[in-house]
């Protein structure tokens, strides 16, 4: 590891992201699962707001020539299987990668084991025993449109704005309607380090962070802002091989995110080292392993597929994200239904 | 530690250390086993559940009597079982 601008920018972006994740309670697992178990739509609305902002922000950055957009590829078999595994794994682990990251910062031991599982499962699939299976799956089911990565605008042969504008207006309409209905004349001030942020505030902050971090990510030579799986795999490699050369932008970003979440949790009096019974710890570790395999096989965790892939209209991201939700619902229904 | 509470619960559910969605699911199960009017005390240190349990039990017809921070992230939530069960 050379302490260079990339490490510093990764730490800063991660730190800000960690604060937003902890304060916004940004966990995709809670978001999807709660719609089924509790008919609770709070976190999924936050994700919707973030995606709406990103759609506009990413395309503006691209039109202004500030970034080059690289939507993730479509490998339907790998996206379906990997996405579904990721969805099942996050229910077992009690949190997806972003959720487990912020809870690790809060001092929750089960989430630390989930992250360890993600790193091991991800590494096995990326480089070791499961890598041939992943490669075979991705190669056999890859689809391109005229040699290009398939996206919704490419599929229909239209400018991305033709999709962005109506979708953004629709999002805005539902968001403000929901906001007004909940508020009913109340004016609760937002407390940065008191209770969790309201969904719309968390969504705006995460969306803006993703947009701002896009050029920073590309300046560091990477393509997917805020993606976390590779970060944890790299940290595992650095520990196993005792080689700091594995610590780059993504690794610095996830370390920054855990620190940012810990900082926010401490200020909000939510930091404490705490562990569930042993059986749940084991379940978190297994869930992490399944998530790690799914994330690398399906080409992305929720951040890559849903938070970044959907606003870029990547068909692979949309497909994997859809199956993550289905996997989450299936596992939640069996375990808690 | 927090002051002595004036509410005497009929049952206590300690889910400290547990995360998504166990505190919520166990609370819901416990409330179903209790009689209308009885009071359940839930002990949880999982921030999301401290906010989500009150929101969801009220939707299910129960009444949140009090939420109190004991220490750091640890909270007591007192819930009175609703008549609809």
pLDDT digits (tens, 9 = 90+) for A10-59: 999 999 999 999 999 999 999 999 999 988 999 999 999 999 999 999 99
Residues counted in chain B: 85
Going by pLDDT thresholds of 50, 70 and 90, the confidence category of residue A299 is confident
Of the candidates A139, A167, A140, the one whose C-alpha atom is nearest the C-alpha of residue A153 is A167
CB-based contact B52 A38, cutoff 8 Å: yes
Give me the pLDDT at residue B3, please.
52
Give me the pLDDT at residue A3, please.
65
**A287 vs A294: CA distance, rounded Å:** 10
In the beta sheet, which residues pair with residue B74? B71
CA-based nearest residue in chain A for residue B59: A38
Contacts of A110 in chain B (CB under 8 A): 17, 19
Express each pLDDT in A238-260 by its tens digit: 999 999 999 999 999 999 999 99
The helix (run of H) or strand (run of E) holding residue B83 is none
pLDDT reading at B1 higher than 60: no
Of the candidates A328, A330, A336, A306, the one whose C-alpha atom is nearest the C-alpha of residue A318 is A306
CA-based nearest residue in chain B for residue A29: B20
Interface ipTM: 0.86
CB-based contact B73 A110, cutoff 8 Å: no
CA distances (Å), A233 to each of A61, A254, B15, in order?
Answer: 29, 11, 32
CA distances (Å), A212 to each of A51, A216, A257, in order?
Answer: 14, 7, 16
Among B20, B61, B62, the strongest candidate for a mutation testing the A interface, having the largest count of A CBs within 10 A, is B20
How far does A37 lie from chain B, in Å, by closest CA?
9
Chain A and chain B share a number of CB contacts under 8 A equal to: 79
Q: Which of A29, A39, A270 sits opposite B20 (nearest CB)?
A: A29
Going by pLDDT thresholds of 50, 70 and 90, the confidence category of residue A120 is very high
Contact A2, A246 (CB under 8 A): no
CA-based nearest residue in chain A for residue B57: A38
Q: Which two tokens stand for residue B41?
A: 């005390």
Q: Is the dihedral of CA A314, A315, A316, A319 positive or negative?
A: positive
Q: Which two tokens stand for residue A211?
A: 């947009």
């Amino acid at each position: 590891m050379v302490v260079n601008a990339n490490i510093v920018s990764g730490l800063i972006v991660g730190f800000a992201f960690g604060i937003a994740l902890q304060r916004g309670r940004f966990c995709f697992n809670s978001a999807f699962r709660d719609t089924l178990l509790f008919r609770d739509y709070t976190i999924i609305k936050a994700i919707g707001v973030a995606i709406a902002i990103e759609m506009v922000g990413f395309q503006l950055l691209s039109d202004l020539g500030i970034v080059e957009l690289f939507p993730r590829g479509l490998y339907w078999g790998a996206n379906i299987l990997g996405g579904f595994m990721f969805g099942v794994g996050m229910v077992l682990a009690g949190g997806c990668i972003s959720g487990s990251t912020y809870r690790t910062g809060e001092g929750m031991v089960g989430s630390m084991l989930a992250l360890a599982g993600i790193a091991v499962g991800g590494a096995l699939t990326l480089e070791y025993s499961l890598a041939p299976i992943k490669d075979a799956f991705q190669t056999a089911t890859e689809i391109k449109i005229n040699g290009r990565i398939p996206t919704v605008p490419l599929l229909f042969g239209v400018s991305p704005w033709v999709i962005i504008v109506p979708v953004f207006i629709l999002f805005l309409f539902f968001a403000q309607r929901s906001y007004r209905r909940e508020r009913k004349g109340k004016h609760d001030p937002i407390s940065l380090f008191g209770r969790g942020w309201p969904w719309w505030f968390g969504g705006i902050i995460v969306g803006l962070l993703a947009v701002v971090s896009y050029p920073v990510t590309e300046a560091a030579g990477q393509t997917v802002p805020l993606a976390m799986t590779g970060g944890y795999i790299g940290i595992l490699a650095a520990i196993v091989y005792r080689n700091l050369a594995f610590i780059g932008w993504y690794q610095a970003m996830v370390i920054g995110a855990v620190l940012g979440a810990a900082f926010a949790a401490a200020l909000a009096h939510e930091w404490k080292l705490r562990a569930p019974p042993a059986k749940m710890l084991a379940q978190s570790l297994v869930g992490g392993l399944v998530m790690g395999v799914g994330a690398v096989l399906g080409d992305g965790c929720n951040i890559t597929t849903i938070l970044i892939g959907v606003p870029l209209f990547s068909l692979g991201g949309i497909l994997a994200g859809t199956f993550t939700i289905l996997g989450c619902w299936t596992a939640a229904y069996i375990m808690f239904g | 530690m927090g002051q002595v509470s004036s509410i005497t619960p009929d049952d206590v559910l300690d889910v400290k250390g547990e995360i998504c969605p166990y505190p919520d699911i166990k609370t819901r199960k416990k409330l179903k086993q209790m009689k209308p009017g009885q009071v359940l005390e839930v002990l949880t240190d999982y921030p999301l559940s401290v906010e989500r349990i009150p929101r969801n039990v009220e939707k299910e017809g129960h009444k949140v009597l009090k939420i109190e921070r004991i220490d750091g992230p640890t909270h007591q939530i007192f819930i009175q079982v609703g008549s609809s069960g």
